[in-house]
């Protein structure tokens, strides 16, 4: 879709061809009609039903090491550390299982991720503040790096 924004220059008209198996999808109908408002509403409706942002709040803990087992082991330890926090901090916060990232290997590093989600930003922020202390206390193998991404753009 981004390439479509490059078609045409100045007064010269442009043309974009889209091939899809779902021509009746609201996204394509909104594109054809140049109807941004309808597109935005349909996307927000889908996100509300699925519980995605902006109707939930997320953080992503990512780890990378030379070996995927090390990355996933660190993320599993981080998830276990979260279970040690007082229940009041974990209320309304969901931690999913550690999984390899979509692009698992980048250069020489194997990457994994752990999604944290809540319907309440204050609950998520309170949880993350305490959890970070535990993450820094975890023993990590040499060469393992991790970072916490609040409101991640990519999952």
User: What pLDDT digit, counting tens, does each position of 62-87 carry?
Assistant: 999 999 999 999 999 999 999 888 77
pLDDT higher than 90, residue 52: no
pLDDT higher than 90, residue 106: no
Reduced to 3 DSSP states, what percent helix, strand and coil does the chain have, rounded to the nearest 5?
Answer: 40, 25, 35
For 36-61, what is the mean pLDDT? 91
Between 18 and 137, the more confident residue is 137
CB 60, CB 149: distance < 8 Å = yes
Average pLDDT, the chain: 88
With CA atoms as reference, report the closest residue to 97 among 75, 74, 118, 69.
75
DSSP conformational letter for 26: H
Domains of the chain, earliest start first:
2-50 (no CATH), 57-150 (3.30.70.600)
Q: How far is it, in rounded angstroms, from Cα 149 to Cα 83? A: 20
Q: Please state the φ and ψ torsions of residue 143, each to the nearest 5 degrees.
A: 90, -10
């Amino acid at each position: 879709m981004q390439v479509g924004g490059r078609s045409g220059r100045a007064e010269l008209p442009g043309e974009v061809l889209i091939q899809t198996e779902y021509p009746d999808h609201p996204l394509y109908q909104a594109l054809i009609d140049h109807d941004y408002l309808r597109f935005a509403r349909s996307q927000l409706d889908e996100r509300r039903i699925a519980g995605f942002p902006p109707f939930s709040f997320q953080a992503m803990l990512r780890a990378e090491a030379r070996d995927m087992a090390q990355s996933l082991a660190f993320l599993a330890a981080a998830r276990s550390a979260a279970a040690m926090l007082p229940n009041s901090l974990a209320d309304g916060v969901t931690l999913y299982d550690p999984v390899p990232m979509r692009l698992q290997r980048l250069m020489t590093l194997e990457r994994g991720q752990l999604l944290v989600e809540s319907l309440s930003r204050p609950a998520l922020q309170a949880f993350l503040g305490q959890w970070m202390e535990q993450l820094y206390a975890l023993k990590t193998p040499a060469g393992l790096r991790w970072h916490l991404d609040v409101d991640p753009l990519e999952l």
